[in-house]
Amino acid sequence: MCGIFGYVGSENASPILARGLKNLEYRGYDSVGIATVSTRLEIRKGVGKIDDAKERLRLEEARGNVGIGHTRWATHGTVTAENSHPHTDCRDEIAIIHNGIIENYYEIKKRLLERGHRFSSETDSEVIAHLIEDNLSNRGGAASSNGSSFEHACVRAFQELRGSFAVLAVRQGEDKIVAVRKDSPLVVGLAENGTFFASDVAPFLEWTKDVVYLENHDLVVADRAGVRFFDQDFAEVNRPVSTVEWDLEEARKGNFDHFMLKEITEQAETIQRACVQDMEVVERIASMIRSGFGVFFIACGSSYHACLTGSYLFSKVANLHVNVVLASEFENYEHFLTDRTLVFAVSQSGETADVLEAVRAAKRRGSRVVSITNVMGSSLSREGDELLLMNSGPEICVLSTKTYTSQVVMMALLVCSLKGDPEECVQRVKGLYMDVYNLTSRSMRERLKDLARDLAGKDHIYMIGRGLQYTTALEAALKVKEVSYIHTEAFAGGELKHGPLALIEEGTPVFVFVSRDNEDRIVSNAQEVKARGGFVIGVSDWNSPVFDRWIKVPDCGDLNPVIQAIPMQVLAYELAIQRNLDPDKPRNLAKSVTVL
């Protein structure tokens, strides 16, 4: 997984590449590199962060008006300079960058080795450069009717690849970029000073808001004269130009030290925007469910927890059973799908590979798909039959915060719509504005910072809840472990005696999520923890004698998962700060998981 960026136009490419790659940092990476084309092909790459690489590799000194850049998050091959992108052919005349997985790379590599090609990395990506070279030197030397020999060689190479990939290719002596998209995100930005390529729109927003969202299997050729689009058979096609509606400033930190804190504090606004939906679409979805469609929710990570919350709401409020399945496990449930199944696919980025694979499986079986995403123009936004947008604005921190609470609100909106009263949800969410604002206030942060100091040295943290509070515990545990690297686990309160109590010893911190409808039973669970020496931290609207510490939150009934998640996000942030960690870019994690 990685970030891709490319530029061809009237300006020197390398400073633009460096800036674009910096704008891609939020996706997570371990190495960085660029290739520029002038009279020769110039490659600069290595392990480390962009700011270091700019100085160490002198990225901005590379010359040429054509360039491609890459941030790598290792999947095939270890973290080394050799495995970082761009990769080149035997003659160092062709360079490529790639996001995705080449499933048939081994058989291609074996054939190319037999033909005398020499490889310098452990990656699957390198075969692409050598395959283009092989097509040029042995089979693809003649120009096609649609373009140059280089373009034709690229097309033949792309057509041979199996798997998921977004690829940009350049060649010494050619002032152009040849690109392809298949099951991996790639968008094109159109500006007065040139053409941009990127994994998503954020990296080039400072130059243009005009974007082309590529279709699957699209091929693109861009030079200083403009850009052309082709289908998989290399027939030229037209693609519509869209305008990005959010501003670059939304993707900047402003006065905040980190994106995570900025995005946490935006939630009083973003949960309101989650209710701004096309009610005709919402009613169509509700009508299908009322008419007897079976319902699946598929998601990963925080989105999965939001869907679990939705399943409780569907059961408790609407008296309906829905199935919630991890997208990576969905293949085990596909045989239940029919043309009377409604599949909700949930992904912040709209590019989560497991979710998209599940969507395509559902479509093959004739099921209807509702896409829930934060990114208009993403693959998920275009592949569903119906679309609901989170409207959260760009979320740059690797961790989901504001999009999680927006998803929970959208679940509540769907349930209220099933009851025929979506306005009830809208009004209740409006009523949360000051509660959410207060939970992200400086005074609340100071109280949670004090708690974080006490917890920062712990090796283990546990969280328990029942019903809706169990799903909140799951999400809170994920936030803490992601950003603080402290082992954190969540359990249903009723499961304590079935194993987890063995983990409790003197001083073990245990968070207990309480609501008015289950307070007696969960407080009883807290007493079980306390009796074994556990340090009990309550999250509720009232203070119990069993609590050693108390995080006060209002009781908001079925919307408690929104309210109770927010102080835990703040606590997770403060734990990262106490442990001298970067909350925006946790180790080994990427914002958008675009490979299976």
Q: What is the 3-state secondary structure (H, E, C) of 301-336?
A: HHHHHHHHHHHHHHHHHHCCCCEEEEHHHHHHCHHH
Q: Would you put residue 159 in left (φ > 0), alpha (ψ -120 to 50) or beta?
A: alpha
Contacts of 442 (CB under 8 A, 6+ apart): none
Whether 300 is catalytic: no
DSSP 19-45: HHHHHTGGG--SEEEEEEESSSEEEEE
The span from the first CA to the last CA of the chain, in angstroms, equals 10
* Cα(282)–Cα(262) distance, integer angstroms: 30
CA quadruple 403, 409, 411, 417: dihedral sign:
negative
Q: Which of 353, 304, 272, 258 is nearest to 25 (CA)?
A: 258
Instruction: Indicate the helix (H) or strand (E) that contains 553.
Output: none
Tokens 């061809």 correspond to 8
Candidates 22, 262, 402, 591; catalytic one? 591
Q: Which of 293, 385, 297, 284 is nearest to 340 (CA)?
A: 293
Contacts of 361 (CB under 8 A, 6+ apart): 330, 331, 334, 337
DSSP 67-119: EEEEEE--SSS-SSTTTSSPEE-TTS-EEEEEEEEETTHHHHHHHHHHTT---
Three-state DSSP class for residue 5: strand
Whether 307 is catalytic: no
Tokens standing for 516?
């008015």
Tokens standing for 32?
């960085």
Candidates 2, 154, 275, 556; catalytic one? 2
- Looking at the annotation, which residues are catalytic? 2, 591
